[in-house]
Structure 1
Amino acid sequence: LGYKLQCMTAALDIMCVLCSDLQVEAPERVTEGHNVSLTCKSSCTLTDRATFIWYRNSQPLTERRDRNNQLLLQSVRREDAGRYMSPVSTDSLVLFNNLLNPPKNVSVSINGSGVIVEGDSVTLSCSSDSNPPALNFSWFKGGMFVGSGRIYSISKISSDHSEEYKCRSINEHGEKYSDAVTLNVMCECVEQYIMSIIHLLQSMYRRMLLKKKKKKTDRSSKVAKYQPEIESVLFIIVLMV
C-alpha cells in the first residue's frame, strides 16, 4: 500500500526502519450489499504502536490514524470500486471491478410498434443488469406462469392474449420482476368497421360537394334528402359500440 516508517527509541538514540513491502489482502469475489474487510499486511516487524491510514483513489478514507490493520467496508456498492493505495507508493490494488449482484433494471420490450391486431405475431423480450448475467427468465400473464426464456413469442395473437405481462430475472444472488406491460389486441372486425366508416364518410363528403354546386331550390327539402344518409352512419357507429 505504501511506505511506512517504524521508529524505535532507546535512550536518546532514534532508529527509523523503512518498510516498503506492505500488501493489501481482499476477497477475490465480492457480492454487492455484503460487508468486505481489507487487510494490510507486511513482513516488517511492527510494534503495537504502528498506525495505518487507508486511501482510496489517493484520498484518505479515515480522518485519523488507526492502529487496526483492517478496513471494513459495509454494504459494498458499485460506487465503492476504486484503487486502494498509498499516495507515495506505485503499488495499488483494484477492487470491485467484478462486483457480484442480483438482477436490476429488469424490463420488457415489445417487438414492432403500433396497433396489435388479431392474427399478428408478437415477441416479448426480457433484459436485466446483473453479475453474473441472469440465465433464468420466467414469464407471467396476469400473475400466472406462461413460459420460460429471455424471449416469449405469441403466434396468431387473439383477444384472449390481452393482459398484463411480467418477466422475472434470476441469478445465483437473487431475483427481480419487471414492471408490467399490457398487450391490447384489437379485433380484426373492429379495424374493418373503422375503415368502412372512413370510406362512407369520404363518399358522403364528395357527394355533398357535388350537390352544393347545383342550384338550391328548397333548403328544407335538402335537409330531408340527407337525413337517411346521416342515420345510416349513426347506425354503424352504434353497432361498433
Structure 2
Amino acid sequence: MCCPILDVSSVYNLFSLCTFFFEVSSDINDTGKIFGLSFYFMAMTLSVEMIDLLCPYGEIVEGDSVTLRCSSGSYPPAEISWFKGGTYLKYGQTYSISNISSDHSGEYKCRSRNEHGKKYSDAVTLNVMYPPKRVSVFIRPFGVIVEGGSVTLSCSSDANPPAEISWFKGGRFVGSGRIYSISNISSDHSEEYKCKSRNKHGEKYSDAVTLNVMCELIMVQ
C-alpha cells in the first residue's frame, strides 16, 4: 500500500510556529489515488503588543489613547477574546481605549481559540500615569489644641508616580514630606495650613485647615 504524501510548501513555512495535526482518510477511488486528506493546527504562538501609544517613550498618561493587538497563528482562524484581570472585555484582534484613565491600569491578556484548542497570551500591564488628585490634610489629635502640646498634620494624595509633598503656612513654605509635626505648640503657630502634592504630570493643593491654638489657663490664687 502506498503512503500518502502531503505537499505543505504553500503553508507559508508555519512549521517553525505551530504544531500540525494530520487527519488522513483511507478512501481510495477507482484510479488508486488517495483522497480526503486534510490537516489543521491549533494556535501555539500568541503575543500581545501595544500600538498607537500617543505619548513619548511608551509612557501612558491619563487622556492618551492606547490600542492592544493580539497576534495569533492558527487554522481554522481563531476567535480572539480580551480579558482584564480575568474579567472578559470583548472579542476582536484589537482592544482600544480612548481617553484612558487610572481606572484602566491593570493586567491585560488575550485568548486565541478555535475548534481544536485554546491558548492565552502572557499578560501585559498598563500602568497609567496621572497628576495628583484627592489631596487632603488631616490633623492629629482632633479637637482643642492647647499651648505646649504637639500636633501632627498629614497629607493624603493619590498620584502616579507618587507625588512630592510640600507644606505651607499662610502661603509661606514651611516644610516637605507627607507628615508635618509641631511640638511645644504656641499661639504663634495659629494659622491656615495646606499641603501641595506634585509630580511631573501636575500639582494640586489641599483645602486649607486652621490651627487655632488656645492659651493654657493658669489658676492664680
RMSD: 3.8
Which 5+ residue runs of structure 2 have no aligned equivalent? 1-17, 19-35
Please state if 1:186 is matched with 2:214.
Answer: yes
Instruction: Give yes or no for contact 1:78–1:96 (8 Å, CA) kept in 2.
Output: no
Report how far residue 35 of structure 1 moved. 1.7
Report how far residue 166 of structure 1 moved. 0.9
Q: What is the 5 A alignment of 1:38-117?
A: 38-42=68-72, 53-56=80-83, 57=86, 59-61=88-90, 69-80=93-104, 81-86=106-111, 88=113, 89-96=118-125, 98-117=127-146
Distance 2:89 2:124 in 1: 16
Report how far residue 19 of structure 1 moved. 5.8
SS of the residue aligned with 2:100? coil
Instruction: Call closer, same or farther: CA 1:96–1:173 in 2, change over 3 Å.
Output: farther
In the comparison of the two structures, how many residue pairs are matched? 173
Q: TM-score, normalised by structure 2?
A: 0.59
Q: What is the 5 A alignment of 1:119-134?
A: 119-134=148-163
Report how far residue 186 of structure 1 moved. 0.9
Instruction: Call closer, same or farther: CA 1:54–1:29 in 2, change over 3 Å.
Output: farther
Instruction: Give yes or no for contact 1:162–1:184 (8 Å, CA) kept in 2.
Output: yes
Distance 2:178 2:112 in 1: 46
Give the strand-richer structure, 1 or 2. Answer: 2
Q: TM-score, normalised by structure 1?
A: 0.55
Distance 2:207 2:180 in 1: 16
Percent identity reads 50
Which 5+ residue runs of structure 1 have no aligned equivalent? 4-12, 197-241
Give the helix-richer structure, 1 or 2. Answer: 1
Which residue identity lines up with residue 37 of structure 1 in the other structure? T
1:24 to 48, 56, 61: 48
Instruction: Give yes or no for contact 2:46–2:121 (8 Å, CA) kept in 1.
Output: no
Report how far residue 54 of structure 1 moved. 4.5
Instruction: Give yes or no for contact 1:58–1:84 (8 Å, CA) kept in 2.
Output: no
Instruction: Call closer, same or farther: CA 1:106–1:93 in 2, change over 3 Å.
Output: farther
